[in-house]
Structure formats: C-alpha cells, structure tokens
Amino acid sequence: MMLCKLSLKNIKKSFKDYAIYFFTLILGVAIFYVFNSLDSQTIMMNVSSSTQEIIKLMTNMLSAVSVFVAFILGFLIIYASRFLIKRRNKEFGIYLTLGMSKRKISMILFFETILIGIISLIVGLGIGTILSQFMSIIVANMFEADLTKFTFIFSYDSCIKTIIYFSIMYLFVMIFNTIVINKCKLIDLLHSSKKSEKIKFKNPIFCTIVFILSVGMLSYAYYMVTAGVDNLKTMNEIFIPIVLGVVSTFFIFWSLSGLIIKIVTHMKKTYYRGLNSFVIRQVSSKINTTVFSMTFICLMLFITICVLSSALSIKNSMTANLVTLSPIDIEVQKKLDLNIDVVNNTWNLTPDMIEDSKLLVRESLNKLDFNVDNYFKDMVEFNTYSTNEVLVKDTLGDYYEKAKTKYPFLRYENAEEFIKLSDYNKAAHLLGLQEFSLKDNEYIIVADYDSWIPIRNQGLKNNTPITLLGKTYYPKYDECQNSFIHISSNHVNIGIFIVPDNALNESIRNENIILANYKETTEEGKEKIENIFYEMDNHPYIKYTNLNISTKLSIYENSVGLGAMVTFIGLYLGIIFLISSAALLALKELSESSDNKQRFKMLRNLGTDEKMINRALFKQIAIFFIFPLILAIIHSIFGIIFCNFMLETFGNEKLLESIIMTAIFLVIIYGGYFIITYLCSKNIIKEK
C-alpha cells in the first residue's frame, strides 16, 4: 500500500514536467482506436455491396498495419521510459541510500506503469471515441455514402484490441524497467547528472574526410533513385540505396558533430556572443546520444514525409483522373479471333470459346440476353488491330539497341496496337479528346503513360518508318500525342498507333470495343443496368466469352476505395511516425533540461538574466529539432521523386498539393512538439 501511495505521489509530482510523455501515450491510444474502429463506423453507411467489400478490405489492411504501429509505439514507450528513469536516477539513489531494496524500487515503477497505463487508456479511449465520430463523417464523404443513419458508435472490438495491444506494451516496459534498476549502481545513480559523454570526435581532418565520403555515398544513393532508377531491376537492388542512405546519414551526423563544434569554437565572435559557448558545450556534452538519436529521428521524418506525400498524392491524382480518364458510362471489349497458336493455350481454350471469339461485342451480349440498343446511347463501335509484322522494337528504329540496354525488361517482341483514323476520331469525340487528320502515308502515336512516352518519342524523332500490310508509313509528329481509347482511373496507355483507314483490314483485327453512355440518367437507373452485368456471371453462356466490362461507376468505386485505403494507411503510419519522432526528441530534451538545472542555476549566480538563459535554451532545443529535419527534407526530395516514379500510373497532377498538406502536418505536429518542449523545459530550469 505504501509503495502504491508513493507511486501515485511520484506521478503527480512529475506530471507537469513530463506532460509530453502522458500526452503522447494518450494520443497514441486515441489514434490506435480511431483507425481500428473504422469497420464499426462504416456499418451505418448506405453504400453499394462492392463499396462494402472495398471498405472491408481497407479495414483488414489497417488491422495488419496496426501490428506494425504497435511495435513503433512500443519502442516509443520503452525509449521514453529510459529517459524518465534516467531523469530520476538521483531519486532512486536516495531510495537505495535509505535502505530500500532494488526489488521495491522495481515495484514502485511497476505500480507507476500500471497507473500511467490505466490513465492513458481511459483518457485515450475517450478522446478516440470522440474523434472516431468525426472520422465516420470523413469516411462517408470519401465514399459518398448516405449519412441518414448516422448514430454515435463505440467500437467494443477496437476498444478490446487497443487495451490488449497497449497492455502488452506496458508489460514490456515493466520488464525493461526491472532490468534497468537491477543493473544500476548506487554511485552511478547519485552522480549521473554530473556526467558528460566522452567527446571522441576531436580530429577535424578525420571528421572532414568522413563527411566528404558520407556526402559522396549519399549523393550516389540519390543518383540511384533518380537518374539511375532504371538500373534498379530487383527488390535487392532497391535496398542498396536504402542501406547507403541510412549509413551515410549516420556518418554525416557523426562527422558534423565534430566539425561544427570545432568550426564554431574557432569563430571567436560567434562563439563568445551571448551564451553561444554555453550552448555549444551543452550540445557537445551529449554528443554520442545526439548522433544516434538524430540519425533515427531523421530517418523517421524522412519516411513520414514520403509516406504522407505519396499517399495524399495518389488519392488526389486518382480523384482528378476520374474526371478526365472515365468521361463515359461504359466500355465493353473482347479479344477477337482467338486460337491456340496465338494465346499459347494460356486461356485453356475450348472450341466454344474459339467460336465466340469470332463474334463482335454486341453479338456476345445478345447471347447473354442483353440488347445494347435497349440500354446504350451515344454508342461507338470499333476494332483495334495488331500484327507480328510490326513489333515494338520495329517502331524504335536506331534507338532499339540503346533502349534494350537501358530498359532490358520491356517487351520489345510484343505486337503494336493499331486503330483506324475514323474510328479513333469517333471515340475521341465521345471521350472529349483531340481529333486528328492524316495523310495517306502518315501515322500518329497516342499515349499517356509517362515512362513509355520518352521511349516512343525517341523513335518518332528519328522519323522511324513502319511497314504495315506492305505499305510504309511515317510519323506525322516527332512526339506522342496525349490521348487514350480505354476508360480507366490511371494513365495506362503505353502507345496506340493511329493510321489511315485503308491501312488496315479485318484479317489482323485484335479487339472489338463498344464505348457508350447509358440511356438511364438517374443513379438508380444506372445501378440497375450495372446489376444486370453482375448477374451475367450466373448466365450459362458467360464461360464461353471473354468479355471485359469496365463502367464509370465501378472504376469510380474502385478508385475511391483504393484512394481511401492508401490515404488512411498513409495517414495512420505518417502521423504515428511523426508523433514518435517528435516525442522522442521532446522527451530527450526534457530529460536533458532536468539534468542541466544546476548548470542554468550557475548562469543565474553569475548574473545572467532570464532572457539570455531562455534564448540559450531555445537555441539548444532548436539545434536538436532542426538538424534532423533539414536532412530529412533533403532525403525526401529524392525519395518523393523515386516514389513518383514507382507510382506514376496514378499520375502526379496533385503532387504539389500533397506536399503542401504534408508540410502543414509537419508544422502543426512537429512544430507543436518543439514549442511545447521549449515551454516545458523553460518551466523545468526555472528558478523556484
């Protein structure tokens, strides 16, 4: 009982100085609850069955991500406990001096951890429950769901999961605390605040060499993920720049910690201005901890910026793409004239399937009891064509050999896709795209997939001719025209050749396509038509045809669902990483401020006014917060370029907006932690 009272008293005593620790725990619990309660929040939504499936997939993904988040939060709590114990070394030393056993000290920490856990869970779950109601509205808006059934919801499953996960974390904290206390020696506990870490990095020449090598290593890593990204062909090769980046980041901080101190001490005017010499000595006194923590924080911030920017960019780009890439209600396409030789029997073709492939789309739909004339308007029907006479390598001309070396995994033996000029213009008119004209011996390539456009342009700039059914054609333009003929949510057109009508005949037809709008104009009417397509899966004839149906509504639902999933996972990880990195820095600085109370007191005794002391404290904390952020931002510039390359099919139309939103998150959370840390540290060192 006495130990419980002592534990409660200790929590009350330290709560003001270490409010950030409690705040971070509460925030972690709240965020964990909010993102794991999405499945309960979506129950009330009036959405389609396909959207429900997407939401279910999203919640399952978030549950899996929560395991990783739990490890991050667990590490944060253990790391924070390390500093809190270090802060109280003298207190524990006094306990041992008074005859208290290490076992009892461990019991005090045990009770404190339980009390802190109960408080953080109760308050965090309360805040999380409130925030989850706002999250319900956000989710509903993203899926354009009907909120007429909105009610206050408390997720019991999420609550139980949160309690279990955090209880496990606190259990590990208790074990960690017990190990630390048992290893403590009385002399170390009593004099720990007077110790400074050994400054090992005193040789400026060696530090300069390490810095130059580290910058060179980091520059090479930047090159690999930007200009040299085409050389990264496997996952193992992608890990090379990651490892180089991590190692070089550590050694940059390692070398700078020695260089900056040496440089500043030689800049007499700067070094002796105000309390700069005191600030430098404060930073150098904890140099080893600074190097490791700054490296870790820098990498955490780098991941945060890249994850948030990429996730928000995908969501924004996909939303923007829906308007331009899916302007009509439906596209139905099918492969024509299938045979075993053409498809290498990968489709397990049967005679009935081969027979159906001779039919056009509308004829196959008729066999499925669907008459296009009853449901479609603004209808455009056309074929695309392909022949092994014109392969990808044939269209690149002299650039082929260089392209094969630079992009060895592209399928240069694939046949190109062709469309008649009149058919393309009809489709373009319906899709709201640019229409073209051609001379009798000209061709145009339309594409919108960014990686392929430069490759195509090389062939076009060389005026590469193509020979199609015995006649030669030359490019009308020296670069691709931005366009497409298939509706989608992403930029996927790697290149379609537009040629004069008389250049093609039915002997090389490849696909038959129908583009159309629905006659029904209401949402309910359109959904009824699409339900007919879903019911076709039960039709006996469906197994004989290779129809591929894409609708604006299904593309929209899938895009919104994928965008929402990426956004929530990105926000979940990004916010957790950002909070963790900021909290680690904040706790470290609060611990340092507690250790340095006597040093600030000495400054007062020497006649230093409070304004100068506070300015020195501000500079000291700013160094620890700004240095890892600067390098993280530099990392992120190249990281975002790499992410943009990997995710280019989604487009980058809204990348700037995403970066701005990420910057806002950084300013609010990271900047907020910085200000709170300064204010709390100022309160710690303040003369009572």
91: Cβ–Cβ under 8 A, 6 or more apart, which residues? Answer: none
198 or 419, greater pLDDT: 419
- Determine which of 28-42, 397-411, 478-492, 575-589 has the lowest per-residue pLDDT on average: 28-42
Query: What is the C-alpha separation between 512 and 666, in angstroms, rounded?
Result: 51
The secondary element (H helix, E strand) that includes residue 236 is helix 235-266
Query: What is the C-alpha separation between 402 and 408, in angstroms, rounded?
Result: 10
* Three-state DSSP string of 354-405: HHHCCCCHHHHHHHCCCCHHHHEEEEEEEEEECCCCCEHHHHCCCHHHHHHH
Q: What is the pLDDT of residue 71?
A: 80
Q: What is the pLDDT of residue 304?
A: 86
Q: DSSP label at 515?
A: E
Q: What is the pLDDT of residue 284?
A: 64
Instruction: Specify which residues 442 forms β-bridges with.
Output: 474
Length of the chain: 688
**pLDDT tens digits, one per residue of 4-20:** 666 666 666 666 656 77
Supply angle C-alpha 278, 599, 6, rounded to 5.
Answer: 140
**pLDDT tens digits, one per residue of 91-138:** 666 666 766 766 777 777 777 777 777 888 888 888 888 887 777 666
At 589, is the pLDDT very low, low, confident or very high (cuts 50, 70, 90)? confident
Query: What is the C-alpha separation between 456 and 15, in angstroms, rounded?
Result: 64
Q: Is the predicted pLDDT of residue 566 greater than 60, yes or no?
A: yes
**pLDDT tens digits, one per residue of 393-449:** 989 888 888 888 877 778 888 899 999 999 999 999 999 999 999 999 999 999 988
Q: Is the predicted pLDDT of residue 358 greater than 70, yes or no?
A: yes
**How large a percentage of the chain has pLDDT more than 70?**
79
Question: What's the burial of 359, exposed, middle or buried (CB within 10 Å: 0-12/13-18/19+)?
Answer: middle
**pLDDT tens digits, one per residue of 505-547:** 988 999 999 999 999 888 888 888 888 888 888 899 988 898 9
Q: What is the pLDDT of residue 440?
A: 92
Q: What is the pLDDT of residue 201?
A: 46
Question: What's the burial of 49, exposed, middle or buried (CB within 10 Å: 0-12/13-18/19+)?
Answer: exposed
Whose tokens are 């990204």? That residue is: 229
Helices (H), 38-101: 38-41, 49-87, 89-97
Whether residue 44 contacts residue 153, with contact meaning beta carbons closer than 8 Å, is answered with yes
Mean pLDDT along residues 553-567: 76
Query: What is the C-alpha separation between 285 and 300, in angstroms, rounded?
Result: 24
Domain parsing of the chain, residue ranges: 1-195, 198-326+556-580+617-688, 339-545
**How large a percentage of the chain has pLDDT more than 90?**
15
Mean pLDDT along residues 188-208: 59
- Determine which of 148-152, 181-185, 215-219, 432-436 has the lowest per-residue pLDDT on average: 148-152
Summary mean pLDDT of the chain = 79
Q: What is the pLDDT of residue 38?
A: 72
Is 476 in a helix, a strand, or coil?
A: coil
Whether residue 586 contacts residue 297, with contact meaning beta carbons closer than 8 Å, is answered with no
Whose tokens are 């995403």? That residue is: 658
Whose tokens are 């992608």? That residue is: 238
